[in-house]
Amino acid sequence: MKEVSPVLNKKLIDLINLQINKELESAYIYLDFTNYFTERGLNGFAHWYKVQAEEEIEHAEKFMAFLHDENDKVRLMAIDKAECPCTDDLEVLKSGLKNEMYITELINDLYGEAEKMNDYRTLRFLDWFINEQAEEEKNANELISRYELFAKDCSAGLYQLDKELGER
Ligand code: OFO
């Protein structure tokens, strides 16, 4: 393996490595949701979370590529067991939103750290994630609202929503 000399500050490298872990953990959580909905026979919801899981892996890959571009090392860590509250649809959707809010917090911490160090290259790179998190939280919130409005107490609404989510 080639010798690498770190370019980024050590604390930032650690935070980015942690972020890689959390993106992969998010993928794991969403795969857990995918399994829950598949087992419920809601294939549209299952598909929606499968796509979500794939996006999380892409996010991890973006961070890995960034570290490599900066000539720093990627350190993959153990991924925690997915703890899905998988007994109730709405609880699953809400815990998806909670996860996204947690990820936003981590990205903000990372951003704050890069700002302290006047690390403008990292800040530019993180801009994409700042926007992405806004989008992810919006999607998760909308999904909860639509479930509550149309599907919670109505099997025809649930059927329709499942169908729409299958088209993501
Ligand atoms: Fe990676 O954005 Fe969701 O968690």
Tell which residue, 145, 2, 122, 7, has the closest CA to residue 62. Answer: 122
Residue 3 has a pLDDT of: 54
**Ligand 1 contact, 25 CB (< 6 A):** no
Is the distance from the beta carbon of residue 165 to the nearest atom of ligand 1 less than 6 Å? no
| Residue whose CA is at the smallest distance from ligand 1 atom 1 | 56
Tell me, using a 6 A CB cutoff, whether residue 100 lines ligand 1.
yes
Q: Inter-axis angle of helices 43-69 and 89-116, to 10 degrees?
A: 10
Sign of the dihedral defined by the CA atoms of residues 85, 86, 92, 96, in that order: positive
Say if ligand 1 is within 6 A of residue 103 CB.
yes
The ligand 1 atom at the shortest distance from the C-alpha of residue 52 is 3
**Residue 140 corresponds to which amino acid?**
A
pLDDT tens digits for the chain (168 residues)? 555 455 689 999 999 999 999 999 999 999 999 999 999 999 999 999 999 999 999 999 999 999 999 999 999 999 998 877 778 999 999 999 999 999 999 999 999 999 999 999 999 999 999 999 999 999 999 999 999 999 999 999 999 999 999 998
Atom of ligand 1 nearest to the CA of 60: 1
- Report the C-alpha gap between 113 and 15 in whole angstroms: 9
CA distance linking residue 147 with residue 66, whole number of Å: 37
Measured from the Cα of 23, ligand 1's closest atom is 1
Nearest to 7 by CA among 59, 61, 73: 73
* Closest atom, ligand 1, to C-alpha of 99: 4
